[in-house]
Amino acid sequence: MSAVSYADVGGVNVSTWHYIDGARVPSPDSFPVLSPIDQREIAQVASGTAAEVSLAVSAAEAAFDDWAALGARGRAEYLYRLADLIDANVESLAIVECEDAGMMLRPLRAYVAAFGAVNFRAFADMALAQTETGWSYNGSKVRVQRMPAGPVGIITSWNAPIVISTWKLAPALAAGCTVVLKPSEWAPLTCSMIADLAGEAGIPAGVLNVVQGLGREVGEALAADERLTRLSFTGSSRTGRAVGQTAANNMVPCTIEAGGKSPLVVFADADLDAAAKTAAFQYDDAGQMCIAGSRLLVEESVAAEFLTLLGKHTDAHVVGNPRDPETTVPPLIHPDHLARVSGFVERAVAQGDTLLRGGRSLGGLLYEPTLIKPRSNDAEIVQEEVFGPVLTIQTFSDEDEAVRLANSTRYGLAGMVFTRSADRAERVGRAIRSGIVWVNAFNLRDASAPFGGRGMSGVGREGGQYALDFYSDLKALYIKEDTTYED
């Protein structure tokens, strides 16, 4: 039976049907959305199939020519209006994202939900700033022109749905593409709200479509649709690999932002308290951050002092209800994910790794901050992404060993280096093989900078000009210089 058209989520009415061609569309079946806070059902959401995906892609295809023809300035007017509406609805978006994804309400209200507006304004500005490049070659004028790629598919994850979905939607729409968005079935509701705000902003029907449903039905059907010109995915490495294979079959360029197992490297000359505070911050959002520095690598001579400081900052965490402004470690997203996280810890202990703190479920979907000293660098807990409040700690003797350990996994999304040496910061920052390295900092994100990873962390780059390039086809136009034209 189809879901009802709206659900009351924390006092906010949220549409539970698909958004296709500017209208709400039901499905015969629905799936429940459970709040991570108390595992209570908060909505029954329309469960799409290949039929709804096809309908949405057809709508995106039909809307593409007119949207592309608007040019960067015409599209920017719509995106600025959408950004204004997101700003005006931050409170509602924050409440729903807290209930739906279990994210902490205080930062959602303060700045996280507003990142959606930041993304739309930033990419509209960047698209407006683009200019054609040109030169003379062998008697001809050469110009490089940009063409919007066409209808695109976007598949997003359940952690930080507002931030991640708008991070992808904004450059796609700014570049002139039309979009079919598939949100995660574990946290789809704020993506539905963004679709309504897009309609309120006047974005034409078919330009932005949202199809909800299970990954094995909607995600697979979207990735396989031959009419799409681009695919962008954020999620697990395993699913990202499948999406990439499907895209390759259709000769469709894709970006894949997948897992991370990032190193946080602390040298003896670092501000140890700042490093330990940043390390403890990796437990925020229950460690459900792809960029989290989950592998602590600390120089041997300061390891004991660092552990003491880390303990102090970890003790300051509050595990609890994300509605509570004091909470810093909210629940995990889903019972299946809790089982995954606890399974990693249980296997680590069984295999001989040392549990230094934590390692217990605290009821519901809460899991306490956990620190493990692995028996070796080959341990599963070191090499595989846990995506929970679980860190490992290892020591190194010199800079070469620090770099070797930092680069010793299949992942390469992010890294952190703490040192007071400018020379070392430059050397190690360059030597760590990942898409992002922060020195004496964490989670600085400039919309104009590239974002993405290597290895099992993904393919391609998002952000800035790199994203606009991805959603565009480039054309070299040669015009013979001595041609006489009658008009």
Query: SS3 breakdown of the chain: % helix, strand, coil, rounded to 5?
Result: 40, 25, 35
**257, 299, 385, 462: which one is catalytic?**
257
Instruction: Domain 6-258+457-475: give its CATH architecture.
Output: 3-Layer(aba) Sandwich (3.40)
What ranges do the domains of the chain cover? Answer: 6-258+457-475, 263-439
**191, 290, 385, 462: which one is catalytic?**
290
pLDDT(135) > 50: yes
Q: What average pLDDT score do residues 370-383 get?
A: 98
- DSSP annotation of 139 reads T
How far, rounded to the nearest angstrom, does the alpha carbon of residue 466 sit from its chain's CA centroid? Answer: 16
Strands 23-25 and 18-20: antiparallel
- What are the tens digits of pLDDT across the range 207-234? 999 999 998 899 999 999 999 999 999 9
When the pLDDT of each residue in the chain is averaged and rounded to a whole number, the result is: 96
CB atoms within 10 A of CB 423: 8
- What are the tens digits of pLDDT across the range 148-167? 999 999 999 999 999 999 99
Interior/surface letters 72-88, b for 16+ CB within 10 angstroms, e for the rest: beebbebbbbbbebbee
User: CA 206 → CA 70, 164, 407, 462, distances in Å?
Assistant: 15, 21, 44, 24
Q: Sorting pLDDT into bands at 50, 70 and 90, what band is 4?
A: low
- What are the tens digits of pLDDT across the range 431-442? 999 999 999 999
Q: Kindly report the CATH number that applies to the domain delimited by 263-439.
A: 3.40.309.10
DSSP-assigned states of every residue in 400-464? HHHHHHHT-SSEES--EEE-S-HHHHHHHHHHS-SS--EES------TTS-B--EETTEES-BSH
HSE, CB side, 13 Å, CA atoms: give it for residue 312.
12
pLDDT(3) > 50: no
User: CA 33 → CA 45, 100, 211, distances in Å?
Assistant: 7, 7, 15
Active site residue 299: no
Amino acid identity for residue 451 in this structure: F
- What are the tens digits of pLDDT across the range 56-74? 999 999 999 999 999 999 9
Active site residue 257: yes
What is residue 1's predicted lDDT score, i.e. its pLDDT? 39
Nearest to 266 by CA among 313, 304, 303, 312: 303
pLDDT(2) > 60: no
Interior/surface letters 381-412, b for 16+ CB within 10 angstroms, e for the rest: bbbbbbbbbbbbbbbbeebeebbebbbbbebb
